[in-house]
Structure 1
Amino acid sequence: MRGLLTVLVGLGAALIAGVALANGSDEPWEPACPPERACPSKETVELGRALFLSSAISPARRSCATCHEPTHGYGASAATTLKFKDLPRSIPSLLNLSHQRWFFWDGRADQLWQQAVGPLESEAEMNSHRLFMVAAVVSNTKLRTSAMAGGALGSRELVALRAALGHSTASACVNNESCERAWQTLPRDQRAVVEAIAHKLLLSLAAFQVSLKSRWTAYDDYMASGKGLSERQLRGMKLFFGEARCSSCHSGPAMTDAGFHNLLLPSPPGRAREDPGRFRGIQHLRALAASGDMGYVPSEIAMHLDLNNSVWGQFKTPSIRNLEGRSEFMHNGVYKNLRDVLGYYNTLADAQVVHHHQNALLAPLNFKEDQLEDLEAFLRIFTRRRD
């Protein structure tokens, strides 16, 4: 056991060396913008923050923070989960997005700015529209000032937008459906002006979201120093990287392989028994690439995704960082606490095989109760800050 943990500590130290010195105990586990990356300006990030928190961009008076609550790790509280129980999938956390290649549970977006269009224009979520968002920024003094400071809106563009929005459209735009009708009345050149600004606003929103990082934890302390974990947590760590096979999917600095897997999960009441998952996500990406919506150009890897039955029912691996405060687990929210998640992996009770799509990684753990307690104790250190 000690030999395994020594290797793990060495690997972890190599991954996070320098971060520990820079961050301390109450800071993010990695810099919001590492020096080697091209970082957005502070004004761009602040514009994104303002858009994220503003309910003015939605006729339903909902902001991004309505579901992705800052006080709950940018995920959903139990009350919010209940309020949006009719959504087809659970509400994920937005922390550590810089480690993700695909967005949404089914990976139907490969660029974060484009992902934001989904909830913005979903009738079940913000029930808004790119036209409404731009009109709100133009008419709202705080958002307009922030947009101009963040480089998303210039004086000439503001004049052009006011001319476009004065085409008796803004007043008729009160939900996604009516906004789309108003959108269709705009001349093509005016639509191009609105979409160009909308694109810049969404890029700012993405810049803010990428800056969201989970906090430094006892796990990071241990990986940097080899100290600080209890015997129970060390036993759980050995199980995690060994017999339990958790690290087959939950690996790397963000504790996720960022890949897609079919876990054969049972479905909770009110959610579809059979969800195509990644299969439908790839179909969506292909349709998006064909449309070129708002200037979207797919990434190289998105253009070469293979659509076949093997991806049916697969969903993205979430990070196990920042488990604290999650009100539901798994893509369909079938489990409400961590122990129930471990219970499923332990027995695979109620596993749902659809169209014989098996998962070669899955096999019952058949652990004893004390082993499950050790594993849970280790998993909980990913949210425990150092005192």
Structure 2
Amino acid sequence: MRLLLIAALFPAVVAAQDLPVADAVFAPQDPAEVALGQLLFYDKILSGNRQVACATCHNPVLGTGDGVSLGLGDGASGLGRERRVIADNMPEKRVPRNAPPLFNLGAAQFTRMFYDGRLEADDSRPSGIRSPLEEDMVSGFSSVLAAQAMFPVLSGDEMAGQYSENEISQAVRLGFLSSEGGAWDRITARVTAIPAYSEAFAALKGAEAEIRFTDIANAIAAFTADEWRADSSPFDRYLRDGSAMNDTAMAGMKLFYGRAGCSACHSGQFQTDNNFYAIAMPQIGPGKAAAFESYLRDTGRMRVTGRSEDAYRFRTPSLRNVTQTAPYGHAGAYATLEAVVRHHLDPVAGLRGYDPAQAVFPDLPGAQDFALMADSAEVEAIAAANELSPVALTDDEVADILAFLAALSDPVSINGRLGVPEKVPSGLPVDQLAEIASD
């Protein structure tokens, strides 16, 4: 009866809401560059020890993430929850932040990358991009997405490997990144030494053109933008032509853009304003620290701006295909969508009452995954920074919001358009979906 009443009243209610417009702009992509980017995305040749591909942490069967709270990069094998450490080359620590989904990152509105926004479009910079590399940041990246796609290759915990394990990690250790003979040059040399890659780049750029690291990044970005474009969900159809969603999703939309206040931050067609907020998310794992720092905390946006008011602020995530992208939060603290929605209803209570059993970790001997949550002073500092006021919703209303979030799913993008290649030009093994189908 409740749903029938909502359905009867909804046309007038929807007309009064400030709903977004389906106006996202996507740059056209060259199919040949997209096809090349697909191979590079799944090829472990880009990692220092040839053990990790982009797809290791951003796999389509896991919602373009890795299905765990905090992943294991170099020094482990396998995918998802079944990823296991390599005994004679164990990771030093977990990757400190949850692998973010890749949906719609080719849309023009996505000009900030990473949870703290440390990489963003900036026309005042010679490269057009502000990044942690500062003066070492090179020009030639086609977009912020292209630049973002290649920063993991410089991380020892993710793709480069540790210290002097290989020529890539050695260059990173010595601070040779974008300079001649640096890490990016060495990766480029690896790739272009493979005939299939050098021929594909020659077909794109011309036989005499120099292939640079930025060309590799641009191809991966072209693939990412095309493969995981997600703008054909039931909600998109509702925005475009008024095609009604089911009654529960419609009720959830009313709450989302109304009393629940979700759209204050989750605005626009893809439900993100790309700004930064402190909402008392639990901090698990190793934290985000520089090599010379030993703490376990992650202060988020403050690491970029240096402003105390930005402490514990993280970028608003897009909610496209959100039912597929668990775990949730910058550290993957919540294993289910309902759990993270309920955290938003009372963030401080959610933080203080956090149940560590919600975290999903591949095994890493010696990891102190919940040490910070046992530090009452740090937990209270996270709580004090919270900017989100409590909201009272009934269980039925939470269910309605979850139904609306499900209506943000686009099956074509979830499955991907090209899929996983059976093999890549390097000849290195490709992690296939069948290996994690049981997760």
TM-score with structure 2 setting the length: 0.62
User: Which of 376, 382, 385 is the aligned partner of 2:408?
Assistant: 382
Is the aligned partner of 1:94 residue 2:102?
yes
Query: Is the 1:137–1:147 contact (alpha carbons within 8 Å) kept by the matching residues of 2?
Result: no
Residue of structure 2 equivalent to 1:76: 66
- Residue correspondence of structure 1 range 1-387 to structure 2 within 5 A: 1-8=10-17, 12=20, 14-16=21-23, 32-33=26-27, 39-58=28-47, 59-78=49-68, 79-80=79-80, 83=83, 86-97=94-105, 98=107, 99-110=109-120, 111-127=144-160, 128=168, 129-151=183-205, 154-155=207-208, 157=210, 197-211=212-226, 212-214=228-230, 216-268=232-284, 271=287, 274-282=297-305, 307-348=306-347, 349-351=349-351, 352-354=379-381, 357-360=384-387, 362-383=388-409
CA shift at 1:366, angstroms? 2.3
Distance 1:261-1:120 versus aligned 2 partners, 3 A rule: same
| 1:116-169, Cα deviation, whole Å (9 max, x unpaired) | 332012111111532332122222122111221222x74364xxxxxxxxxxxx
Whichever residue aligns with residue 327 of structure 1, its letter is A
CA apart distance, 1:254: 1.5
Q: Deviations over 1:2-28 (max 9, x none)?
A: 43312459x55x535xxxxxxxxxxxx
Q: Residue 15 of structure 2 aligns to which amino acid in structure 1?
A: T
More helix by share: 1
Of the structure 1 ranges 131-140 and 335-344, higher mean CA displacement relative to structure 2 is found in 131-140
| 1:59-116 residue CA offsets vs partner (Å, 9 max, x unmatched) | 3332111111123332223452674981111000111112311111111112233323
Report the more deviating stretch, 329-338 or 364-373.
364-373
- Counterparts of 2:275 and 2:209 in 1: how far apart (Å)? 44
SS of residue in 2 equivalent to 1:354: helix
Q: Secondary structure at the match of 1:116?
A: helix
- The residue identity in structure 2 corresponding to 1:372 is V
In the TM superposition, residue 355 of structure 1 has moved relative to its aligned partner by 7.0
> How far does the alpha carbon of each residue in 1:327-363 deviate from its partner, in whole angstroms, 9 at most, with x for none?
3101110101111012212233243442775344x12
Q: How many Å apart are 1:269 and its aligned residue?
A: 5.2
Query: Superposition RMSD on alpha carbons, in Å?
Result: 2.7
Q: Which amino acid aligns with 1:245?
A: G
- Please identify, of 308-317 and 229-238, the stretch whose mean Cα deviation from structure 2 is larger: 229-238
> Could you tell me how far apart the structure 1 residues matched to 2:153 and 2:274 are?
24
Quick one: which amino acid aligns to residue 13 of structure 2?
L
User: In 1, Cα distance between the equivalents of 2:82 and 2:271?
Assistant: 28
Q: 1:242 to 1:280 in 2, by over 3 A?
A: same
Alignment-mate amino acid for residue 102 of structure 1: R
* 1:75–1:93 contact (8 Å) kept in structure 2: yes
Distance (Å, rounded) in 1 between the aligned partners of 2:386 and 2:41 = 37
Whether the 8 Å CA contact 2:30–2:222 is kept in 1: the answer is: no
How big is the shift at 1:247? 0.2
For 1:40 and 1:220, how far apart are their aligned partners in 2?
22
Q: Contact 1:73–1:214 (CA<8 Å) still a contact in 2?
A: no
Structure 1 pair 108–339 and aligned structure 2 pair: CA distance change class (3 A):
same
Q: Is the Cα contact below 8 Å between 1:55 and 1:63 reproduced in 2? A: yes
What is the rounded CA distance, in whole Å, between the counterparts of 2:240 and 2:248 in structure 1? Answer: 19
Q: 1:47 to 1:357 in 2, by over 3 A?
A: farther
Task: Report percent identity of matched pairs.
Answer: 28
SS at match of 1:145: helix
Residue 215 of structure 1 and its aligned partner are, at CA, apart by 5.1
Code of the residue aligned with 2:155 in structure 1: it is: S
Distance 1:77 1:356 in 2: 27
Residues 224, 385 of structure 1: alpha-carbon distance in 2 compared, 3 angstrom cutoff: farther
Alignment-derived partner of residue 21 in structure 1: none
Instruction: Look up the match of 2:135.
Output: none
Distance 1:357 1:209, change over 3 A: farther
**Which secondary structure state, in structure 2, belongs to the residue aligned with residue 126 of structure 1?**
helix
Residues 156 and 109 of structure 1: CA distance in aligned 2, closer, same or farther (over 3 Å):
closer
What is the Cα deviation at residue 277 of structure 1? 0.9
Can you list the C-alpha shifts for 1:240-294, whole angstroms capped at 9, x where unaligned?
Answer: 1111110001111111101111111122355576312112134xxxxxxxxxxxx
Cα deviation code 1:288-316 (max 9, x no counterpart): xxxxxxxxxxxxxxxxxxx4211121111
Q: TM-score, length-normalised on structure 1?
A: 0.70
**CA contact under 8 A between 1:274 and 1:354: conserved in structure 2?**
no
- Distance in 1 (CA, whole Å) between partners of 2:219 and 2:14 is 41
> Which segments of structure 1 move beyond 4 Å, counting only runs of 4 or more?
269-273
- Name the CA shift for 1:107/1:82 in 2 (closer, same or farther; >3 Å): farther
Q: Distance in 1 between matches of 2:82 and 2:117?
A: 24
The verdict on how the C-alpha distance between 1:147 and 1:353 changes in structure 2, with shifts beyond 3 A counting, is: farther
* Structure 2 gap ranges (5+): 1-9, 69-78, 85-92, 121-143, 161-167, 169-182, 289-295, 352-378, 413-439
Q: Which residue identity does 2:345 align to in structure 1?
A: N
**CA gap 1:218/1:113 in 2 versus in 1, 3 angstroms:** closer
User: CA–CA distance in 1 between the matches of 2:263 and 2:240?
Assistant: 19
